[in-house]
């Protein structure tokens, strides 16, 4: 397990931090997935691939930003020292987290990467993650969900998305659902046991680690084409990448 960090750009340019969930394979841990649910979990590093792809575009376009890329790289597997449901973990930020479900591992590594990014006071944090099945239930497999704490960022991203015909869709950071993450023994649970609003509660978990003063954009992506289409073969897929690159060009070029 490691946090991979890349840096590029001049120090006097605004800092943009990209974070990608890098779970090389996700068995679910002790809350193990079904065989069918595990079959495609080699794609659980799709967020890391998205972050790397956006970073490559930024460098090729020579955008005037100070780029930081953070990829928490792990495997979620079963072993003698695997973490357990009911464990309490202490995050990099100092917040304690009760493990409600070991299969909600992505947000545990992302929150520490976000905390690391926050230490450098960036102008913008963008994270990409194959985070929830709930986002796929809401929007299907071809439209990535995004969340943000900044209305202008949302508006500008939607405009960029439309201009390059790369669909994305905003879901709300509905603060009332934060109580679904309450824990009796820690500051927060890593997921809700209610079964409702899974994509929103996952985003609200991450939101706990982002100060209000820092702009943050979170993508919940499929990273996989379930069917072959023109120019889009079945398999691994960058979703929303062109929209994000267009958004960054408009914002910083």
> CATH number, domain at 36?
3.40.630.10
Angle at which helix 151-163 crosses helix 241-252, to 10 degrees, equals 120
Provide the annotated active-site residues: 33, 107
Distance in angstroms (rounded) separating the CA atoms of residues 180 and 29: 22
pLDDT, tens digit only, all 253 positions of the chain: 899 999 999 999 999 999 999 999 999 999 999 999 999 999 999 999 999 999 999 999 999 999 999 999 999 999 999 999 999 999 999 999 999 999 999 999 999 999 999 999 999 999 999 999 999 999 999 999 999 999 999 999 999 999 999 999 999 999 999 999 999 999 999 999 898 999 999 999 999 999 999 999 999 999 999 998 888 889 899 999 999 999 999 999 9
Q: Which two tokens stand for residue 197?
A: 């609003």
- Contact assessment for residue 54 and residue 144, using Cβ atoms and an 8 Å cutoff: no
Q: Which two tokens stand for residue 181?
A: 């993450």
Among candidates 19, 31, 21, which has minimal Cα distance to 191?
31
Determine the pLDDT at residue 19: 99
**Please, what sign has the CA dihedral across residues 124, 129, 135, 136?**
positive
Task: Give the total number of structural domains in the chain.
Answer: 1
Among candidates 200, 204, 225, 233, which has minimal Cα distance to 140?
225
108: containing domain: 2-252
Determine the pLDDT at residue 27: 98
- What count of residues does the chain have? 253
């Amino acid at each position: 397990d490691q946090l991979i960090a890349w840096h590029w750009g001049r120090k006097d340019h605004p800092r943009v931090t990209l974070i990608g969930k890098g779970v090389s394979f996700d068995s679910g841990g002790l809350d193990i997935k079904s065989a069918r649910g595990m079959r495609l979990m080699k794609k659980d590093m799709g967020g890391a691939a998205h972050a790397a792809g956006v970073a490559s575009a930024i460098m090729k376009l020579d955008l005037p930003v100070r780029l930081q890329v953070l990829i928490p790289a792990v495997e979620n597997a079963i072993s003698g020292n695997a973490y357990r449901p009911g464990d309490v973990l202490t995050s990099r930020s100092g917040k304690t987290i009760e493990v409600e479900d070991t299969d909600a591992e992505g947000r545990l590594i992302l929150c520490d990467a976000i905390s690391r990014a926050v230490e450098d006071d960036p102008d913008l944090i963008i994270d990409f993650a194959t985070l929830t099945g709930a986002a796929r239930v809401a929007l299907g497999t071809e439209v990535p969900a995004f969340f943000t704490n900044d209305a202008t960022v949302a508006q500008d991203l939607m405009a960029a998305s439309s201009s390059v015909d790369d669909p994305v869709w905003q879901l709300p950071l509905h603060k009332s659902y934060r109580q679904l993450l309450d824990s009796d023994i820690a500051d927060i649970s890593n997921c809700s046991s209610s079964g409702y609003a899974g994509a929103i509660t996952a985003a609200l978990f991450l939101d706990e680690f982002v100060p209000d003063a820092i702009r943050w954009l979170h993508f919940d992506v499929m990273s996989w084409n379930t069917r072959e289409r023109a120019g889009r073969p079945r398999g691994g897929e960058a979703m929303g990448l062109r929209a994000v690159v267009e958004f960054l060009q408009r914002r910083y070029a």
